[in-house]
Amino acid sequence: MAAEAARQTLHAQVERLQRDAQERDAALAQARADFARELDKLRADTARAEARLQAAEKRALLETEHERSISARLIKEQDAAVRRADESDAQRRAERQALQAQLGDARQHIGTLEGNLAAL
């Protein structure tokens, strides 16, 4: 009878240990499933973050290129304005020199006329 009681006790322990092992296996399977779900979420979040980063980089590059083209256009406009101002300045100097020459000729002619008038 003692052997039978020991055998039943051992049999009960084996059944309990088997149930515990099954519960642990189920918990492990659940933990793995939860981990896989969380990992998938993190991968999806990472993919979205990378897409946002690429979009932001593209916008920054486009903005930089836009600013560069505006800068180049403004430099060209400034160069053209400086060239026009230089040409205008040169034209004004030439006109002033021509007027000064005409004034000198007119004064000389006046001097000649005054001399002729005085001689009369």
Q: How confident is the model at residue 39 (pLDDT cuts 50, 70, 90)?
A: very high
Residue 35 lies in a domain: yes
Residue 120 is assigned to a structural domain of this protein: no
Task: Name the pLDDT band for 74 (thresholds 50, 70, 90).
Answer: very high
User: What does each C-alpha distance from 93 to 25, 32, 52, 83, 108 come to in angstroms?
Assistant: 100, 90, 61, 15, 22
Which residue do the tokens 């180049």 mark? 72
Q: What is the pTM of this model?
A: 0.54
Number of domains present in the structure of the chain: 1
CA distance 13 to 8: 8
pLDDT of 120 over the 80 cut: no
**Ranges 13-17, 45-49, 62-66, 75-79: which has the least confidence:** 13-17
15 domain-assigned: yes
The answer as to whether 112 is a domain residue is no
Average pLDDT over residues 26-30: 97
The predicted pLDDT at position 117 comes to 84
Give me the mean pLDDT over the 87-106 stretch. 95
Mean pLDDT value of segment 8-29? 94
59 part of a folded domain: yes
User: Tell me, what's the pLDDT at 93?
Assistant: 96
Q: What is the distance between the alpha carbons of residues 74 and 6, in angstroms, rounded to a whole number?
A: 99
Residue 90 burial (10 A CB sphere; 0-12, 13-18, 19+): exposed
43 within domain boundaries? yes
| Residue 118, pLDDT score | 86
In a domain, 104, yes or no: no
Domain of residue 51: give its range.
1-94
